[in-house]
Structure 1
């Protein structure tokens, strides 16, 4: 069974004002620094810095069993929460800060060069994603997977959407993080590559253009990892509830296994142009699961619940084989029934009228004290 690992980007906020605080350096010191495994070629439960000082990144170990993955995700969150508490701040899982913020970059030479090169795109970049890694046997298999899952990725954005606010304002989007990411020249959906050779040739051309600094700046919706033998799916907002994170991980693994099986059987990748996938991504980021999504194959608008059901049907054989079918059916039903993280944030604001209450609620859900 393929292993799956999760990276979560988390915001550090003041417990009283709810505004983000630039204390990542102090938190990592409290936690004993960056904790990495003995093998740098594998993900292995860790707590690390990110682009801005108001953020931390957690990395789970790779797991075949999703119950173990869920425990690992919660352990990573609890470790971040404990270290943050010693620095006088709280941790929230939200794709953007509900309250206004002035991002402060982590003092890393690479980050400083990115900031100098990309200007306001970098200086305003304070978004938190959930990246899912699934093991693949080779670059050939990995690129075959990327070509075959791309049309389904907007559905994951809709399910995970958890960033309705930006600089204290309601953006009218369920996932404004997905919009903010498109400011980067290397971000968004890619066209069908057809082969690992074409994928690598594309990345090499991007590097030689001088626009992209290094392979770490390949911000495609899904890419080959440049440091572990996985495909990395990057379209999800960080989810407030860890149970939703596990849902996204299960669906991603199902998509990868389904795509790999199709490739091995000689099935073709859906020939959908990236320009249309950008529309599907916009629709998912705008409305989440509360309206219509674009059908992954026809690109016609359909009720979000029907499109989610089609995704589950598409990956059902893989879910049954891995034992994840019941988990996905239940948790997807939960999201469709009560809404995603963006719906919860807005509901709290409607009830209280204060964004600081939205932040406090996110902190409770992130820590597992409350469920969505």
Structure 2
């Protein structure tokens, strides 16, 4: 008979969205070829209708996996879509790049995608919109109801700094080493309702507080709630949006597996009436900034101790925390070995900087392109 954790793991479906940049192969500069790439993708037999989507800027595209029950299934879809979309990008004269921020840019901004929503956003926030040459990965978890979704939000909040540190893959920005492992986190944090969410007292509290933001005219619509974790307004899912897009598809699967395992643990703890004590908002915001700054090269925030800890020790505590969820699951082999390799070889940010310093700009661009499609 499966354990309670195993039952929840089987019940929580997941889907992964990934955003990519389109780069010139020779220079690594963003190129406005999204329309041509989407048209070439339409003719790719390995891509289904609706899997490739528009993004804010014309040098970006997005994919979304189908609803999955197993990590292996999600990983298969990601690899399939990356390979097919990579071929579509080559046919359109550019390359697909899974890096969290455009490492190199020229003087002119990339045009926005011409939709009514994006035109309004650009009118409201011109420079901020122009600077959204950043790409993330979003994990959607199927939930039985919005109350369960709020329990997941509250339970995952303390783990956001560690997730951001592990996923950091955007150290370069406008031809400069930013000194941050995840510059994307800093750029995206400029929006008015962004960063780690507060603690909510149930679904009604979540709905009231987000509704007041819109009704008070502080944001245009509910879609501009950009917290690192939020409830979907269209589907029975909770969306975790804190992480940079990953260089390698197996790292994206690993992170999605950790997120789902943490959600299962949070739901089980909430049902049992216990869990990790809430982290104060100012502490969490500072810990997220610290994770974005240092990635895995220094200390990270460990929510179980409530303080900064060596990255390896914090990951060991994480694995102990989710072990009851994954110990009898196939998810374990998609999480533990990949996580161990990431700690040994460095996350995407560390590997980008290492390649740039060792071999220069063209070698970095080649590495990003090759690892994006699993080559």
Taking the aligned partners of 1:269 and 1:308, their CA distance within structure 2 comes to 16
**Does the 8 A contact of 1:99 with 1:355 survive in 2?**
no
1:88 and 2:56 are equivalent in the alignment: no
Aligned counterpart, 2:3: none
Aligned counterpart, 2:55: 50
**Does the 8 A contact of 1:98 with 1:358 survive in 2?**
no
Aligned counterpart, 1:41: none
Distance verdict in 2 for CA 1:135–1:321, change over 3 Å: farther
**Does the 8 A contact of 1:96 with 1:126 survive in 2?**
yes
Q: CA deviation at 1:319?
A: 1.4
| Alignment counterpart, residue 142 of structure 1, candidates 108, 124, 149 | 149
**Does the 8 A contact of 1:144 with 1:194 survive in 2?**
no
1:357 and 2:363 are equivalent in the alignment: yes
Q: CA deviation at 1:358?
A: 1.1
Unaligned runs of 5+ in 1: 39-43
Aligned counterpart, 1:28: 38
TM-score calculated relative to the size of structure 2 = 0.93
**Does the 8 A contact of 2:304 with 2:317 survive in 1?**
no
Taking the aligned partners of 1:203 and 1:152, their CA distance within structure 2 comes to 22
Structure 1 residues 131-140 or 308-317, which shifts more?
308-317
Aligned residues: 362
Taking the aligned partners of 1:271 and 1:240, their CA distance within structure 2 comes to 32
Deviations 1:122-150 (A, max 9, x none): 12111000100111100000001101110
| Alignment counterpart, residue 110 of structure 2, candidates 103, 109, 125 | 103
Q: What RMSD, in angstroms, separates the aligned Cα atoms of the two structures?
A: 1.9
**Does the 8 A contact of 2:53 with 2:63 survive in 1?**
yes
**Does the 8 A contact of 1:53 with 1:106 survive in 2?**
yes
Deviations 1:53-101 (A, max 9, x none): 0000010112111111111001111221121111111001000011124
Aligned counterpart, 1:271: 278
1:60 and 2:70 are equivalent in the alignment: no
Structure 1 residues 290-299 or 157-166, which shifts more?
290-299
Q: CA deviation at 1:180?
A: 0.6
Aligned counterpart, 2:19: 9
1:174 and 2:176 are equivalent in the alignment: no
Taking the aligned partners of 1:261 and 1:322, their CA distance within structure 2 comes to 16
**Does the 8 A contact of 2:228 with 2:242 survive in 1?**
yes
Taking the aligned partners of 1:186 and 1:33, their CA distance within structure 2 comes to 38
Taking the aligned partners of 1:340 and 1:214, their CA distance within structure 2 comes to 35
| Alignment counterpart, residue 244 of structure 1, candidates 245, 248, 251 | 251
1:320 and 2:330 are equivalent in the alignment: no
Taking the aligned partners of 2:50 and 2:41, their CA distance within structure 1 comes to 13
Aligned counterpart, 1:77: 82
Taking the aligned partners of 2:306 and 2:269, their CA distance within structure 1 comes to 21
Aligned counterpart, 1:193: 200
TM-score calculated relative to the size of structure 1 = 0.93
Unaligned runs of 5+ in 2: 1-9
Q: CA deviation at 1:213?
A: 1.5
**Does the 8 A contact of 1:147 with 1:269 survive in 2?**
no
